[in-house]
Amino acid sequence: MKRRTWILASAAALGGVVTGGLSVGLLLRHDHFESEARRRTQEPGEILLGGWVKLSPEGAVTVYVPHSEMGQGAATALAMMVADEMDADWARVRAEQAPADPAFANGFFVQAFLLNGKEVPEFAQSAVSLGFGEVARLGNLQITGGSGSVRLTGQHGFRSVGAAVRAMLVQAAAEEWAVPAKELRARDGVVSHEASGRQSEYGRLAAAAAKLPVPENPRLKTKAEFRLVGKSIPRFDIPDKVVGRTRYGIDAQLPGMLVATVKASPIHGGTLSSVDAAPALAIPGVRKVVKMKNSVAVVADGYWPAHQGLQALQPSFMSGFGAATDSMGIRQSMESKLSAGGRTVHSRGDVGAVKDGPEISATYHVPFLHHATMEPINVTARWADGRLEVWGSEQDALGARANLQKISGLPLSQVTFTPMSLGGGFGRRSAPKKDHLEQAVEIAKAVSPRPVKLIWSREEDFAQGTYRPAVATRIAARLDKDGLPASWTQAFTDTPGLINEGYPLVYDIPNQHLVAVDFLSHVRVGAWRSVAHSQHGFFTETFVDELASHAGKDPFEYRRAMLETRPRHRAVLEAAAMHGSWGKPLPTGWGRGIALVESFGSIVAEVIEASLDTDGMPRVHRVVAAVDCGLLVNPNTGRQQVEGAVIMGLSAALAEAITIKDGAVVQRGFPDYPVLKMRDIPQIEVHFVESEARPGGLGEVGLPPAAPALANALRAATGKAVTSLPLRDHYSAPARQG
């Protein structure tokens, strides 16, 4: 056994096949990466243990987190998981974002495991498509997404890292004192030996521990043994955020830095044909106009002159095939595609054999949605002396660096990326989205050797988004003699290249046939908080209410009857109904709706009370969410994530829509893309339903049930069923046209 090793949770644990304790495998790593990891983190006297935890001689513990902080509190939760298994002194633990270096690639383990000729263990074969698929996608590089920080990195990596480090420290003490390791106790950063009264702090043992092999199967704590996990420990990042000290990408400041702003072809896929630079150059403070393939940038001494310069330009763009497209055309072309058939993604029983009973069908639509992160897109770059240095707020720091290397054509060693905090992500700042990186590199070349910060205006941020796709679906079902669905047939449009985990039904329906129909328009799309669950939750859960209505059943009891074989789901549904006062009287004109969606390993049900306001618009009064996320690491942070996701889900359901006219996005800011504000916020309660399951995600899971629970509540209040979003289109008068 080589001494210096990295830890890798085994294939089985990654795939979720083994539900008991984790078995931890070992992956020998290249010395190059290990020395690089040490070089990037260790100051004299400091010791990096287990690959991700650094100890100082004074006992300070630094956990290197391979995720970006964008509001989800993952750094604190992951440090808690390491520190708990390690029995570290929490007062001396802190978290730091890992450097954007392959030595800290989160998915490096998975990749290496898969690619270095290792076989997938036989017992895990069945998990390959499901488990490895998920891990390879989410674990790739340093991505922050898929609600995966705690449930994947934490559960499958960092707990084992903490346990291994603890075991190494204990072993180091045992060897020094020549006593058996099992006689030693580790607690709050100190190893002690009761019989001899000897004790030693972790910091003093670290150097000796680093010379020991990383144990292959460190014992993980049971739930009862946790001292940090399960507690509402305050987040590390909040004190800086209340005094304006947190540095986001947009706060990068470098000597001699210029500021640029840009306008790209409003019709995605278009190119810049011509622009007269003179009007911009006439503005004091403007330094340069940079013409690029599909955009033009103005570089100036500050944002204001750059903005004015850009306003003064009248670029003309070659628009390509997208120019004739509008939202209605996209909608019609999706609908016609639905009838043409596609890939079968799930089949159970034989839907064709179910011929009795009335067929109920509906066609649903959802619009494009924008992330509208509060921090507009920005990135800072310096191109000098054959090197490219970049600072920014990205969801995948290492992925961004890899993109920058490709864009620049430089060797990776000559490209650095310094990750900064994100003013919101929601999918917008993940690695595949690199227009702004391409622009920044080109602008930096043009003003080399001076550094330049590229800031998109809010208008540009809206016009050049990577939207949640507009999606259509057609669902048909036949009910059995009890009114429950005997068959469920569904076709939905699907975006090639975008993961869709949204369609499996949580209900036990004997005959199912689901078909995905690939659909792309010229409008750029991408992952948006909860990805495909954001639309499928709405489709499935409003259609279930449609079925319940035909069956003459209560929507809660109807769902409950379809969950006989799913006790976790049933418990969550019941908890939401109980806390949400299901069946209790409501004021006149109010309605109550319920919805249940499983996503990212967690199960969430929401009960919503709503009515129409005096102006005829929907008003949400109360939201009760019940959440089974398995092991809950930090209840307060978890509650915070669910509250936020509920609000974003309601916001999208009520009023958000990106529409297309003459090929371009119509909306250019918050005035025509209204998001919820303080006055719109209902009472929100979050109840966690305890279960023994491994951790599920929390960053996104509160979102998908919000839209259907609200639509169902309004249906209960008004008797009117809607089949498209946003809801305001159905209630405002006159009806809006997309």
Partner 1 sequence: MTIPITLNGQAVAVDADPATPLLWIIRENAGLTGTKFGCGIASCGACTVHVNGAPVRSCVHPVGAAANARITTIEGLARSAGLPEGELHPLQQAWIAGQVPQCGYCQSGMLMAASALLATTPEPTDAQIDEAMTNICRCGTYPRVRSAIKSVAKTTKREAT
- State the residues that interact with partner 1 by CB under 8 A: 70-73, 232, 234-235, 237-248, 250-251, 253, 259, 284-285, 302-304, 307, 371-376, 421-426, 455, 457-458, 636-637, 640-641, 643-648, 669-671, 675-679, 681, 684
Q: Please report which helix (H) or strand (E) contains residue 645, including its range.
A: helix 635-655
DSSP, residue by residue, 332-385: HHHHHHHTT--EEEEEES-GGG---S-EEEEEEEE-BB----SS-SEEEEEEET
Nearer to partner 1, 108 or 236 (CB): 236
Nearer to partner 1, 298 or 516 (CB): 298
Nearer to partner 1, 334 or 645 (CB): 645
DSSP state of 73: -
**Burial (0-12, 13-18, 19+ Cβ within 10 Å), 572:** buried
Q: How far is the CB of 306 from partner 1 (least distance, A)?
A: 10
Q: Which residues contact 661 (CB under 8 A, 6 or more apart)?
A: 326, 327
Nearer to partner 1, 272 or 703 (CB): 703
3-state secondary structure 222-273: CHHHCCCCCCCCCCCCHHHHCCCCCCEHHHCCCCCCEEEEEEECCCCCCEEE
Q: How far is the CB of 421 from partner 1 (least distance, A)?
A: 7
Q: How far is the CB of 703 from partner 1 (least distance, A)?
A: 10
DSSP, residue by residue, 12-60: HHHHT---SSPPEEEEE--HHHHHHHHHHHPPTT-EEETTTEEE-TT--
Nearer to partner 1, 178 or 678 (CB): 678
**Burial (0-12, 13-18, 19+ Cβ within 10 Å), 141:** buried
Residue 472 forms beta bridges with which residues?
A: 365
Nearer to partner 1, 243 or 735 (CB): 243
Q: Which residues contact 297 (CB under 8 A, 6 or more apart)?
A: 260, 261, 262, 263, 289, 290, 310, 439, 442, 443, 454
Q: How far is the CB of 537 from partner 1 (least distance, A)?
A: 17
Measuring CA to CA, which residue among 510, 612, 501 is closest to residue 145? 501
Specify the length of the chain in residues. Answer: 738
Q: Please report which helix (H) or strand (E) contains residue 471, including its range.
A: strand 471-479
| CA 667 – CA 738 distance, rounded (Å) | 12
The answer to whether 297 touches 290, Cβ cutoff 8 Å, is yes
Nearer to partner 1, 253 or 336 (CB): 253
Nearer to partner 1, 142 or 637 (CB): 637
Q: How far is the CB of 147 from partner 1 (least distance, A)?
A: 14
Nearer to partner 1, 20 or 244 (CB): 244
Beta strands in 56-197 (DSSP E): 61-65, 93-97, 184-187, 190-193
Measured CA angle at 193 (ends 189, 199), to 5 deg: 45
Q: How far is the CB of 246 from partner 1 (least distance, A)?
A: 6
Nearer to partner 1, 214 or 300 (CB): 300
Q: How far is the CB of 604 from partner 1 (least distance, A)?
A: 15
Nearer to partner 1, 182 or 677 (CB): 677
Peptide bond into 215 cis (omega under 30): no
Q: How far is the CB of 625 from partner 1 (least distance, A)?
A: 12
Q: How far is the CB of 140 from partner 1 (least distance, A)?
A: 23
Q: How far is the CB of 640 from partner 1 (least distance, A)?
A: 6
Q: At what angle do helices 74-86 and 159-177 cross, to 10 degrees?
A: 30
Q: How far is the CB of 456 from partner 1 (least distance, A)?
A: 10
Nearer to partner 1, 134 or 700 (CB): 700
Q: How far is the CB of 236 from partner 1 (least distance, A)?
A: 11
Nearer to partner 1, 238 or 328 (CB): 238
| CA 601 – CA 723 distance, rounded (Å) | 27
- SS3 of 562, please? coil
Q: How far is the CB of 649 from partner 1 (least distance, A)?
A: 9
- SS3 of 171, please? helix
Nearer to partner 1, 341 or 669 (CB): 669
How many Cβ atoms sit within 10 Å of the Cβ of residue 737? Answer: 9
Q: How far is the CB of 642 from partner 1 (least distance, A)?
A: 10
| CA 308 – CA 283 distance, rounded (Å) | 8
Measuring CA to CA, which residue among 94, 87, 78, 85 is closest to residue 41? 94
